[in-house]
């Protein structure tokens, strides 16, 4: 099979946009793994950069997904990978991938020779010189090369992106990043945006929507939909007409719309719809903005559509279990004269509508069973005022009000650990020691 791949004029390829936790791990597209690796990914892959240096990178399997990890961190560091940049992976067989790295301006990035990492394999050949037309220093250790053919390749990738049918292994955020990286303006449809849809400010400016009172959307069937542009202070929204467009095009939760101003026209915008589910639930004709999501269909189906699986993270239960163990192991030396407990940050503790549960045994022993104000003090950083609530049935002690501020102000991330020392039982004041997960500290 490897030989067959080599003989082909075009190697199987995929691209990845850098976002999220890309500095620590990178998900291999499931479709690529199934199609081209027969779901059998070697434990190590060789990544060859444009400078012809190679990295042996470990592959870790989580559920059905394969991630580049361990040495990938070095690779990411050596290439100063940044959010929004993307890499084209071409498979040459024999676990060997050739990589092309593109910056946010679509120009190829090449690491400088002196930035050779200890982990890189010493099979690098001398770089060809004198072919670069422009050299712009973007990151330390990285020079920017921008020959025309690379621009064309980037454009080809961009073009291809428009045709991609995003499968279920792509998260909503990933979709956004993919499209934004392609300099297009996309939104992910949610029922709450049925009547008004916010246009990203940069896109509104770039497409001149700020100066328009209305635009015409061209749907994939070629139909035109006049849509009113609503301007409220700094925000630009699509108003009257947008709902007609959504309903007629049967947009479903998490479907992605890509908007492109038709060249040469004043206010015609082509809309490509990338659907997440072929078996989506149609929006009823009489849908109103006041509708709750449960109106649309069975609960299970709505859950599946509204909360797409986040693939680039370890399953939450696994995280929780591992972390509990790790927290205990990590702080054997921690002692205090005060009662204390450790809490490892899980996803729901630091993202979205967040709150944090205090260990029940600890909370029952030291806290009162009615809601109280809690003071959290991080030495040298400050004091935060929060409140805990107590679940009536399960006696769950949960910090809610004020916890979000604490998380944001202290940049807490998943896997960070907080040690809560109850230094004042009367006023319920905790001294909080934050122990960062080293994976969250990669610069």
Partner DNA sequence: CGGGATCGGGATGCTTAAAG
Partner DNA sequence: CTTTAAGCATCCCGATCCCG
- Which range in 29-37, 206-214, 266-274, 356-364 contacts DNA by CB under 7 A? 356-364
- Bridge partner list, 340: 421
In the complex, what is the shortest distance from the CB of residue 415 to DNA, in angstroms, rounded to a whole number? Answer: 11
In this structure, are strands 96-102 and 44-48 parallel, antiparallel, or unpaired? Answer: parallel
The closest of 194, 156, 162 to 175, measured between CA atoms, is 162
| Residue 331 near DNA by CB under 7 A | no
Contacts of 329 (CB under 8 A, 6+ apart): none
In the complex, what is the shortest distance from the CB of residue 352 to DNA, in angstroms, rounded to a whole number? Answer: 7
Query: Which of 130, 285, 393, 441 is the binder for DNA (CB under 7 A)?
Result: 393
Give whichever of 12 and 297 is closer to DNA, judged by the CB atom. Answer: 297
In the complex, what is the shortest distance from the CB of residue 108 to DNA, in angstroms, rounded to a whole number? Answer: 36
In the complex, what is the shortest distance from the CB of residue 296 to DNA, in angstroms, rounded to a whole number? Answer: 10
Strand order in the sheet with 268-274: 185-188, 256-261, 268-274, 214-218, 224-232, 235-238, 197-199
| Residue 353 near DNA by CB under 7 A | yes
Structure tokens at 29: 């597209």
| Residue 317 near DNA by CB under 7 A | yes
| Residue 289 near DNA by CB under 7 A | yes
3-state secondary structure of 432: strand
In the complex, what is the shortest distance from the CB of residue 313 to DNA, in angstroms, rounded to a whole number? Answer: 9
Burial group, residue 285, by CB count within 10 angstroms (0-12, 13-18, 19+): exposed
| Residue 369 near DNA by CB under 7 A | no
The whole-angstrom separation of Cα 188 and Cα 190 is 6
In DSSP notation, 212-243 reads: -SEEEEE-TTS-EEEEEEEEETTEEEE-TTHH
Query: Which of 13, 247, 359, 440 is the binder for DNA (CB under 7 A)?
Result: 359
Burial group, residue 308, by CB count within 10 angstroms (0-12, 13-18, 19+): buried
In the complex, what is the shortest distance from the CB of residue 389 to DNA, in angstroms, rounded to a whole number? Answer: 4
| Residue 290 near DNA by CB under 7 A | yes
Give whichever of 42 and 391 is closer to DNA, judged by the CB atom. Answer: 391
Query: Which of 357, 378, 435, 436 is the binder for DNA (CB under 7 A)?
Result: 357
The closest of 59, 61, 76, 79 to 21, measured between CA atoms, is 76
- Which range in 74-82, 98-106, 291-299, 376-384 contacts DNA by CB under 7 A? 291-299
| Residue 404 near DNA by CB under 7 A | yes
Angle at 208 between CA 207 and CA 209, to 5 degrees: 95
Query: Which of 13, 70, 248, 355 is the binder for DNA (CB under 7 A)?
Result: 355
The whole-angstrom separation of Cα 109 and Cα 178 is 18
Alpha helices in 265-346 (DSSP H): 299-306, 316-330
In the complex, what is the shortest distance from the CB of residue 434 to DNA, in angstroms, rounded to a whole number? Answer: 16
Report DSSP state, residue 177.
H
Site for DNA in 229-248 (CB under 7 A): 230-233, 235, 239
Contacts of 107 (CB under 8 A, 6+ apart): 134, 136, 144, 145, 146, 150, 151, 154
| Residue 395 near DNA by CB under 7 A | yes
The whole-angstrom separation of Cα 274 and Cα 155 is 19
Query: Which of 152, 192, 265, 336 is the binder for DNA (CB under 7 A)?
Result: 192
| Residue 320 near DNA by CB under 7 A | yes
Query: Which of 396, 433, 437, 440 is the binder for DNA (CB under 7 A)?
Result: 396
| Residue 137 near DNA by CB under 7 A | no
Give whichever of 54 and 276 is closer to DNA, judged by the CB atom. Answer: 276
In the complex, what is the shortest distance from the CB of residue 395 to DNA, in angstroms, rounded to a whole number? Answer: 6
Look-up: residue for tokens 């109103």?
288
In this structure, are strands 372-378 and 382-390 parallel, antiparallel, or unpaired? Answer: antiparallel
| Residue 326 near DNA by CB under 7 A | no
Site for DNA in 73-132 (CB under 7 A): none
| Residue 329 near DNA by CB under 7 A | no
Query: Which of 13, 105, 402, 437 is the binder for DNA (CB under 7 A)?
Result: 402
Look-up: residue for tokens 């067959």?
4
| Residue 370 near DNA by CB under 7 A | no
| Residue 293 near DNA by CB under 7 A | yes
Give whichever of 7 and 353 is closer to DNA, judged by the CB atom. Answer: 353
The whole-angstrom separation of Cα 140 and Cα 111 is 9
Binding site for DNA (CB under 7 A): 192-196, 198, 230-233, 235, 239, 288-290, 292-294, 299, 302-303, 306-307, 316-321, 324, 343-344, 346-349, 352-353, 355, 357, 359-361, 371, 387, 389, 391-396, 400-402, 404
């Amino acid at each position: 099979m490897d030989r067959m791949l080599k003989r082909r004029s075009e190697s199987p390829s995929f691209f990845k946009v850098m976002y999220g936790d890309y500095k620590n791990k990178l998900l291999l597209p499931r479709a690529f793994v199934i199609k081209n690796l027969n779901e059998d990914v070697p434990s190590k892959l060789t990544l060859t950069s444009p400078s012809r240096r190679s990295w042996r990178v470990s592959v870790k399997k989580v559920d059905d997904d394969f991630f580049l990890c361990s040495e990938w961190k070095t690779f990411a560091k050596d290439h100063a990978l940044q959010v929004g940049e993307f890499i084209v992976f071409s498979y040459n067989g024999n676990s060997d991938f050739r990589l092309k790295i593109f910056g946010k301006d679509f120009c190829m990035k090449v690491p400088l020779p002196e930035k050779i990492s200890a982990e890189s394999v010493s099979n690098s050949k001398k770089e060809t010189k004198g072919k670069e037309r422009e050299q712009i220093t973007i990151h330390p250790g990285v020079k920017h090369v921008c020959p025309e053919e690379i621009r064309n390749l980037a454009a080809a990738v961009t073009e291809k992106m428009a045709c991609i049918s995003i499968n279920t292994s792509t998260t909503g955020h990933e979709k956004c990043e993919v499209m934004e990286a392609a300099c297009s303006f996309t939104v992910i449809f949610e029922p709450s945006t049925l009547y008004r849809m916010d246009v990203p400010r940069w896109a509104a400016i770039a497409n001149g929507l700020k100066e328009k009172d209305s635009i015409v959307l061209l749907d994939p069937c070629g139909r035109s939909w006049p849509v009113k542009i609503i301007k409220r202070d700094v925000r630009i929204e699509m108003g009257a007409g947008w709902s007609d467009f959504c309903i007629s095009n049967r947009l479903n939760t998490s479907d992605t719309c890509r908007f492109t101003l038709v060249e040469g026209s004043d206010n015609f915008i082509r809309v490509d719809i990338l659907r997440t589910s072929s078996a989506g639930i149609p929006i009823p004709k009489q849908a109103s903005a006041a509708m709750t999501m449960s109106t649309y269909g069975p609960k299970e189906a709505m859950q599946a559509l509204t909360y797409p699986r986040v693939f680039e993270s370890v399953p939450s239960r696994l995280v929780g279990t591992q972390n509990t163990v790790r927290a205990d192991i990590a702080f054997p030396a921690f002692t205090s004269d005060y009662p204390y407990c450790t809490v490892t940050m899980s996803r729901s503790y630091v993202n979205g509508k967040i709150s944090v549960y205090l260990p029940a045994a600890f909370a029952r022993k030291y806290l009162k069973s009615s809601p109280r104000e809690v003071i959290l003090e991080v030495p040298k950083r400050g004091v935060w005022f929060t409140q805990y609530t107590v679940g009536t049935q399960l006696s769950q002690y949960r910090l809610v009000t004020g916890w979000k501020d604490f998380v944001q102000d202290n940049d807490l991330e998943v896997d960070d650990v907080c040690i809560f020392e109850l230094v004042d039982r009367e006023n319920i004041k905790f001294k909080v020691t934050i122990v960062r997960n080293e994976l969250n500290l990669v610069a």
